[in-house]
Chains A and B, each alone.
Chain A
């Protein structure tokens, strides 16, 4: 079998599965069989993606292009698959995380009624198809199709508990915020078509700045960049595995992937790249601040996702595509791990709130350990996955002379380490809450994906070299002052978080490991300094959270209100009197008649 065949298999098996379990009537309602079929489909898809990657790193380098004509009226466009290092690796990441999440869901959604379970897995398979459509897209048009499809599935899955009003609202909010952003994609596509007569990734056009700005607007919606990030925290209303797959690892990263793919276009637009660098860095800092004061473990992770996506966007803005892409893949692994780990904590205590957890490490050593691994990887502790990619991004910012974004990202790195430590301390150590007393480890179906992802969170950083070779970049890890400083900042953040939330609440094993750090910080002046710094951080976080809640959300509400008032005014035109309408028609006829006759 050729590479293309494998890729098509990875693409269409999930679609077939979705159609099969969704349409063959009794299957969806039986739940469990549908779920198992879906998992099997995901496994086939994963194996195919593996075959693509294993089959030919030599063949992948020039890129394999296989398309069929579509919408051939006028200028021909095409759909099909485009395989090169970038898409083949992304395919593997997507199918791997999706498979892990699906297996995990078997345990996590065990108590759902069968029809709901069947519905869930139908959406999951559909998502895999949609995401692969996007990943394998040979041109921007197919990417747009996949882009819209994942948006739809995201809406369906956020609203999975659609009887809950907040979930239904969150789904609608996510849908219209991202759809609003997608207008940019559409405008960009149309402009590109008008300029070049096609939708090629590698198009060369003088309008590149406008096109890429429009595309980036869509990316801001999909990848939750400020100020269009407002839907992502609400999207946590969906089941936790959904948050892990769509709203952390793959779908929100689609925006980043789009920019990576359209690199030739973005290279022509210096302005867009600057905008990206600043928007990304600001989002990274802003979201990290907000994450510090969240009380809901999923909200912490959601804002963390915003923040990390900001890193990727900033790296792409600096022009270092590989740094962004590398961080995308490592982030996919450790953030999925964190979400799934958080999911098993939530599953144990039946609450998202950090205050309902506490002391869970003793009850759930396995889940606790993998969560800590994920947190360390996110904080950028060597030699875990986040360390390599985050340092690479900081280094890239430094290399391209973007010092303001670099500073923002460095502060964000500190905050990231800090809030993850806080989360770990509050959730896993400290005094157990009442609910935590009865917590117990999940079953094997939830443990297995956690173990796989934990291994990847530890080891994915070492894949940087091969990945660079695959995608035609040049990368070898070497120590740099900037990267070292970033790591040091992260370690300080961890120490600070540990100091603030650790000692009073036990967690003996970890505590002993950090004791020297704690003693150092506790010494003399550091004590007060840390307290003040924490107070400032808390205040800033609260202020920014308030701004997010009222100013940015308010801006959106305000625009809605304007439309409402406008509508109320315009309503007066509708008198309900038939003759007024006839009068309008007569007026129009006379005006157009006059125009036609007297011209």
Chain B
């Protein structure tokens, strides 16, 4: 009984915070609601006897990804100021997105209902973290190594993408004017009108 109550509470918090993360107009708040969702997910991991994952979730996501996103929001702050606070509920997008999401929910419920999942019983003992490490460096060694290459590529790629193209221009004039002078932006501003 207690377990049910606890699960219900966690699930409610999870879904509610996710809805807020998607629905709130203020971007900073949206990111913070996402943080709550991620933290609640780690509760699920604990209930699923995966304490290592729960810890990792808190450290990596709530610590790393969240602060990264907050940086992103801050760096692009002027956007939200210019266009008012994030206008996300475009009626057009909403009208076409809702049916598809409703159908998706229906499909998932149907699929879960049709599949016999209740016979599966949880494992009695939780696996040790040591075993996970052995798995990673044993069976999944190749995937692990490939992943490290991917991370390196992502790092290099992010630097290359976000780097300023012409260092000599830096600090000479207002970056806003420079952005406006780029051919791409002029083209798109014409499209907007």
Contact = CB atoms under 8 A, between A and B. Distances in A.
B111 A586 contact: no
B93 A590 contact: no
B182 interface: no
A418 to B, nearest CB: 62
B171 to A, nearest CB: 32
A183 interface: no
A583 B97 contact: yes
Interface in B82-127: 93, 96-97, 100, 103-104, 107, 110-111, 114
Contact of A593 (B93, B107, B114): B107
B93 A597 contact: no
B107 A587 contact: no
Nearest to A586: B100
B110 A579 contact: no
A73 interface: no
A429 B111 CA distance: 90
A579 B92 CA distance: 12
| Interface residues of chain B: helix, strand, loop or mixed (majority) | helix
A574 to B, nearest CB: 13
Contacts, number: 21
Contact of A597 (B96, B97, B100, B111): B111
A583 B111 contact: no
Contacts of A598: 110
Contacts of A68: none
A593 B97 CA distance: 17
A594 B93 contact: no
Query: Interface centre among A583, A587, A589, A597, by most B CB within 10 Å?
Result: A597
A597 B109 CA distance: 11
A594 B97 contact: no
A587 B100 contact: yes
Nearest to A587: B100
Contacts of B107: 590, 593-594, 597
Contacts of A589: 104
Interface string A565-597: 000000000000001000100110110011001
A598 B111 CA distance: 8
Contacts of A586: 100, 104
Given A597-B110, A598-B110, A590 B97 contact: no
B110 A583 contact: no
Nearest to A598: B110
B56 to A, nearest CB: 29
B104 A590 contact: yes
A583 B100 contact: yes
Given A579-B93, A583-B96, A583-B97, A597 B104 contact: no
A590 B100 contact: yes
Contacts of A583: 96-97, 100
Nearest to B90: A579
A589 to B, nearest CB: 8
A579 B110 CA distance: 27
Sorted nearest first, the 4 A-B pairs with minimum C-beta distance are A597-B111, A593-B107, A590-B103, A586-B100
Interface of A: 579, 583, 586-587, 589-590, 593-594, 597-598
21 contacts: A579-B93, A583-B96, A583-B97, A583-B100, A586-B100, A586-B104, A587-B100, A589-B104, A590-B100, A590-B103, A590-B104, A590-B107, A593-B104, A593-B107, A594-B103, A594-B107, A597-B107, A597-B110, A597-B111, A597-B114, A598-B110
